[in-house]
Amino acid sequence: CRMVAPHYKKMAEQFKDKAVFAKVDINFNRETASHQMISSMPTFQFYLFGKKRDQFSGADTNRIMSMTQQLVREAETKNIEVTFEALQEFYKEHAPDKAAEMDDKKLQDILTKAGKGGGPGHFQLVKALKKKYDGKAPKTRARAAQAPAGKGDSKAGDAKADAQAGKAKVENNKPNLHLATIEQMEAEIKKRREEEEDKKVEAETDDDDTPQFPIYLPENRTLIRGAEQVVIIGSGPAGLSAAVYAARAGLKPVVAAPAIGGQLQGKGVDVENYPGVNMSTGPNLVYEMQLQAAQFGAVFEQEMVTLLDISKRPFTVQTNDSNIKAHSVIIATGADSRWLGVPGEWEHRGGGVSSCATCDGFLYSDKHVVVVGGGDAAMEDALVLARTSASVKVLHRRDAFRASKVLADRVLSHPKIEVVWDTTVEAFEGKKIRVLPNGLTVELSEDGSVVDENYTKMRVKDIKERLDAAGISYAGVKEKDELVKVLRGAIAEALSPAVADDGGGEPATFEERNALTRVRAKNVKTGKVTEIPASAAFVAIGHDPNTKMVEGQLELDSNKYIVIKPGSSRTSVEGVFASGDVADHVYRQAITSAGTGAMAALDAERWLSEQGYCSPA
């Protein structure tokens, strides 16, 4: 997720040597997504001492920070070791009668049971002894870290290095290329080429590998009468177009928004309706716009705007990190996906119900999915999903699409897409599942008890997929009855009390979640209600403008869009301008957003000149 990637990287640096932050690209590693039951992106998992402690979906940076801090504190508390000598001394001092019974073997058995090398087991041992002996406990020490590989016998290391080097002895202070064999040089060239290819692939798929555009630093800014000339809120086509025009006019704009590029950043098909752009993706188009704005002098405050105060001048734009004063503001905050508001929608978000096919679609490869909507967004979602899903049903409340003819024709002619006309969604329904320690899942009844599934009715393919997802071997097992026994045995073992205990005497907490299984739909002409089996449903019914921060400050229409004066981008407050989808409920295209962004920058430049806020050229 490009929205949370910079925060994730920053937290990794903040908790260096205390927590390991890792990323799994499940475009390339789908086995992990299946094994971990990932059903929405981004998904974050937290582990402590090899056990999963939490998992959630969504770009909630506050929750990531809070959970990380909690686990780091717990790790520091439990990351202790009770030595053999300390345990022996404890019994001698506080339980001499017990010490007489304790030989070296019994003491060692206690430590072995608690866990070799310390950790949570030793913490639980100390806790138990404190309870038994009135707060007295053996002395502890910080858990010993393993010595880095290669720190052993230097002679052995030298011997290994010599063996690998063969005849070519390396001398660091002299060129040694002439000593290398042909085979060694060819191997080195191949290795370097592979490394370069790996870097390219990683750069294309890594959300952290975002371009380092000029960052907003208050100490480096030259203010005009105590404030910035213009701050642009939003980093989609409207905001970036405004940034290009404002920068070329010498206004030195500050673009305040996470570097996520609006709706274009999540566009999973090629951008075909932007003049001059051929066969380019949304993220690439956003990057080119950012680069162009930066080249002309725009700077970027890549944090979410949390407050906009336009009640007094200069205006105040507050982000998570900064408090920026501005003489003028261009609002280009765009619009967010709209939801249906039907029963089961909220409960199954992150469990099969989504508004982003590009983000979550590949999680449902070879599954049956549903798309709700009839505009361009719904068509694009259906086409994206048809690449990987077993089938796609498009539910539309009317008897014709409002989407562009090109996209509608592609959907109607696609062999994997079926359109269900005159149909609305009544509810999203599913089941509650529990994820077991070995990765298998079981269905839960309404009272929370495990449902006794009839595995004999499952297809052999489905049984194998379930075992594969959990990494459970069934080598040599061919008969269905035997496969059912393997599955039953693995589930029974995972549900047993011995496995359910986390090793420290405390019961493990299983992860439970909702999983979509069907969409209840109604034909608006006949009234007939049907249940459509589906593993996922993607809602694409339009957007709501992001105007919450200006409610009560600017004039809005009945649908919460910013009202602008005809023929301009001016709003009801002088010095505040609006562009893009936040003020456009009709066209809502990348190209029209970019056009209104240019208008807003030109309007802002004129207004600043009239007010005497422009810096001398």
Q: 582 and 453, same structural domain?
A: no
Catalytic residue among 25, 54, 60, 359: 359
For residue 494, being part of any structural domain is answered with yes
For residue 616, being part of any structural domain is answered with no
DSSP-derived pairing of the beta strands 529-533 and 315-319: unpaired
Q: Is the bond leading into 314 cis (omega within 30 degrees of zero)?
A: yes
For residue 208, being part of any structural domain is answered with no
- Percent helix, percent strand, percent coil in the chain, to nearest 5: 40, 20, 40
Give the range of the structural domain holding residue 97, as residue numbers without chain letter: 80-142
**pTM for this predicted structure:** 0.58
Residue 555 CA: distances (Å) to CA of 30, 230, 265, 310, 336:
48, 21, 29, 13, 20
From 211, 227, 186, 259, select the one nearest 1 (Cα to Cα): 259
- Domain stop point among 127, 142, 157: 142
Q: 458 and 424, same structural domain?
A: no
pLDDT of residue 164: 46
Contact 303, 256 (CB under 8 A): yes
Q: 549 and 405, same structural domain?
A: no
Ordered mean pLDDT values, 10 residues apiece, the chain (617 residues): 71 87 76 66 81 73 81 81 89 85 86 80 83 86 58 45 45 61 81 64 47 79 92 95 96 86 55 73 79 93 91 94 95 92 91 84 89 94 94 97 95 97 97 82 85 88 82 86 91 70 51 90 97 96 92 95 96 98 86 96 97 73
Give the three-state DSSP class for 136: coil
Catalytic residue among 356, 376, 581, 584: 356
Amino acid at 458: M
Contact 576, 419 (CB under 8 A): no
Contact 319, 300 (CB under 8 A): no
Measure the CA–CA gap between 50 and 149, rounded to whole angstroms: 21
Structure tokens at 441: 């899942």
Q: 525 and 397, same structural domain?
A: yes
Please confirm, yes or no, whether 206 is among the known catalytic residues: no
Residue 403 CA: distances (Å) to CA of 377, 391, 417:
8, 21, 16
Amino acid at 607: W
Note the maximum CA span of the chain: 95
Q: 128 and 33, same structural domain?
A: no
Residue 605 CA: distances (Å) to CA of 216, 252, 374:
21, 11, 39
Measure the CA–CA gap between 224 and 238, rounded to whole angstroms: 25
Q: 492 and 448, same structural domain?
A: yes
Measure the CA–CA gap between 235 and 594, rounded to whole angstroms: 11
DSSP category for residue 48 = E
Element (H, E) at 335: strand 335-337
Please confirm, yes or no, whether 54 is among the known catalytic residues: no
Measure the CA–CA gap between 379 and 401, rounded to whole angstroms: 9
pLDDT of residue 542: 85
Give the three-state DSSP class for 85: helix
Contact 104, 111 (CB under 8 A): no
DSSP-derived pairing of the beta strands 335-337 and 323-331: unpaired
pLDDT of residue 406: 94
Q: Residue 427 forms beta bridges with which residues?
A: 520
Q: 93 and 228, same structural domain?
A: no
124: which residues sit within 8 A by CB, 6+ positions away? 114, 504, 505, 506
- Domain stop point among 26, 61, 78: 78
Give the three-state DSSP class for 336: strand
For residue 559, being part of any structural domain is answered with yes
Structure tokens at 409: 């024709």
For residue 226, being part of any structural domain is answered with yes
- The values of phi and psi at residue 278, to 5°, are -125, 125
**Number of domains, the chain:** 5
H helices within 425-510, ranges in order? Answer: 460-469, 480-495, 497-500
Q: 331 and 363, same structural domain?
A: no
Q: 324 and 279, same structural domain?
A: yes
CATH number of the domain residue 395 falls in: 3.50.50.60
Catalytic residue among 207, 360, 381, 581: 360
pLDDT of residue 196: 63
Q: 400 and 535, same structural domain?
A: yes
For residue 579, being part of any structural domain is answered with yes
Measure the CA–CA gap between 265 and 236, rounded to whole angstroms: 8
pLDDT of residue 358: 76
Structure tokens at 259: 């570097």
- Domain stop point among 56, 78, 100: 78
Measure the CA–CA gap between 547 and 568, rounded to whole angstroms: 19
Please confirm, yes or no, whether 481 is among the known catalytic residues: no
For residue 326, being part of any structural domain is answered with yes
CATH number of the domain residue 36 falls in: 3.40.30.10
Q: 308 and 245, same structural domain?
A: yes
Question: The tokens 């900064």 sit on which residue?
Answer: 322
Measure the CA–CA gap between 70 and 481, rounded to whole angstroms: 46
How far, rounded to the nearest angstrom, does the alpha carbon of residue 320 sit from its chain's CA centroid?
A: 19
For residue 321, being part of any structural domain is answered with yes
Helix (H) and strand (E) counts in the chain:
18, 22
490: which residues sit within 8 A by CB, 6+ positions away? 438, 440, 467, 470, 472
Measure the CA–CA gap between 400 and 91, rounded to whole angstroms: 82
Contact 534, 541 (CB under 8 A): no
Q: What is the 3-state secondary structure (H, E, C) of 541-568?
A: CCEEECCHHHECCECECCCCCECCCCCC
Q: 590 and 502, same structural domain?
A: no
Q: Residue 392 forms beta bridges with which residues?
A: 369, 417
DSSP category for residue 271 = B
Contact 561, 583 (CB under 8 A): yes
For the residues of 190-205, what is the DSSP string, one character each? HHHHHHHHHHHHHHHH
Give the three-state DSSP class for 141: strand
